[in-house]
Structure 1
C-alpha cells in the first residue's frame, strides 16, 4: 500500500510530484508575511527615513555654516565694503571703486551658491550609507527554539485535528457555504468530509510525504 497522500490541492497522485502544493505554499507564505510584517515594516521604514533625513540635514547645515562664515569673512576683507554696506550700496566714493566692489561681491555670492549646491549634493549622495546605518540599528530576532510557544503552538496542543482551528472557523465555513467555492480547494473539502477516520496503518519507510494543510 502506498501511504503517500495525494496532492492536497488537485488530488493528483503524489508521484510524480505535483507542483500544486509547492505553489500554494509560496502564495500562503507571501500572504502570511504580508499580514505579519507589513505594519512593522512601515513603522521601521518611517523611523529610518526620519532619522536619516535629519542626519543629512544636520550634515548639510554644518557644511553650509562654515561656508557662509568664510563668505562673510571674505566680503569684510574687500576694500570699501564696510562703507558700501553703511550706505546701503550707495557710498560717497568714486563710481569706479563701486563698480569694482559690486563685481567682487557678485562673484563671491555666485561662488557661495555653487558651494552650497555642492554641499547639498554631497550630503544627499550619502543617503545609501546613512540608510544602511540606521537600518542596521533595527533589531529583529527569532524566538527561542526551546520556547513553549514554538514547541507547542495551539494547533499542536489540539492534536492537529480540524477541531484545533476552533468552532468559529467551522461556523464561518458554514456561513460561507452559499458562496461559490474555490475550485482548487473543492477536492480537499470533499476528502475532509469523507469516511470516518480509521487507525493509521504502518507507514512505509520510503516515499512517505506528510500532508500539507493550512493553506
Structure 2
C-alpha cells in the first residue's frame, strides 16, 4: 500500500511528482521574504544610499575645489586682470588688449565648466563601486543552529497543531460531528443536569483544548543632488 500523501494543492498522486507544491512553495517563500525583510531592506538601502551619496559629493567637492583654485590662479596671472576686476570689466585699456583679455577670461571660464562637468561625471560613475562597498559593510548573519529559537520554534513546542486543517472547514465539520456524537451518547447521563451545570461543563471542556499556536515573529529615496545623475 502506497502511504505517500497526494498533492496538497490538486490532490494528484505523489508519483509522478506534481509541480503544484513546488510552485506554491516558491510563492510562499517570496511572500515570507517580503513580510520579514521588506522593512529591513528598506532601512539598509536608505543607509547605503545616504553614505554613498555623501561620499560622492565629498569627492566631487574636493575635485572642484582644486580646479577652482587653479582657475583663480590662472586668471590672476593674466596681464591687466587686476585692472579689469578693479574697473568691473571696463578698464581703461587699449581695445585690442581688452579684447584679448576678455577672450582669455572667457576661455578660462569655459575650461572651468568643462572640468567641473568632467569631475561630476567621474564622481557619479563611481556609484556602483561605492554602493558595493557600503553594502559589504552590512552584517547579515544566520542564527546558530543550536539556538533554542531554531531547535524549538513555537509551533514545534505546541506540537505542530494543524491550523491549516482547522481553517479549512473540514476540521470544524469533524469536530461538530464528534461533538454531536458525544452529546448524543452522553445525553442520558446529563439529563439531570441544570442549564447552569451544562454551561459550566461546556466552558471547562473548552478550557482543556490544546493551547493556541503562537504566530512566528515577523520582523519588522532620496532627492538626488543637482547635476546630471538620476540614479542607478
TM-score, scaled to structure 2: 0.71
In our comparison, the structure showing a higher alpha carbon Rg is: 2
Unaligned runs of 5+ in 1: 174-185, 197-215
C-alpha displacement of 1:131: 0.4
- Give 1:117-128 correspondences, 5 Å limit: 117-128=117-128
Instruction: Note closer, same or farther for the CA distance 1:74–1:54 as it changes in structure 2 (3 Å cut).
Output: same
State the 1:191 CA deviation. Answer: 7.9
1:100 aligns with 2:127: no
Q: In 1, distance between residues paired with 2:65 and 2:47?
A: 27
The 5 Å alignment of 1:3-14 reads 3-14=3-14
Map 1:1-215 → 2, pairs under 5 A: 1-162=1-162, 165=163, 173=167, 190=170
Residue 161 (structure 1) shift:
2.3
Residue aligning to 1:204: none
How far off its partner does 1:194 sit?
A: 5.9
Q: Could you say what the CA RMSD is over the residues aligned between the two structures, in angstroms?
A: 2.2
Within 2, Cα distance between the matches of 1:90 and 1:9? 87
- In the TM superposition, what whole-angstrom CA distance separates every residue of 1:114-163 from its partner, at most 9, and x where no partner exists? 0000000000000000000010111100001000000000111111122x
SS at match of 2:12: coil
Deviation at 1:90, TM superposition (A): 1.1
Number of matched residues? 176
Higher relative contact order (CA closer than 8 Å, sequence separation 6+): 1
In the alignment, structure 2 segments of 5+ residues that lack a partner are 179-232
2-structure distance, mates of 1:191, 1:6: 18
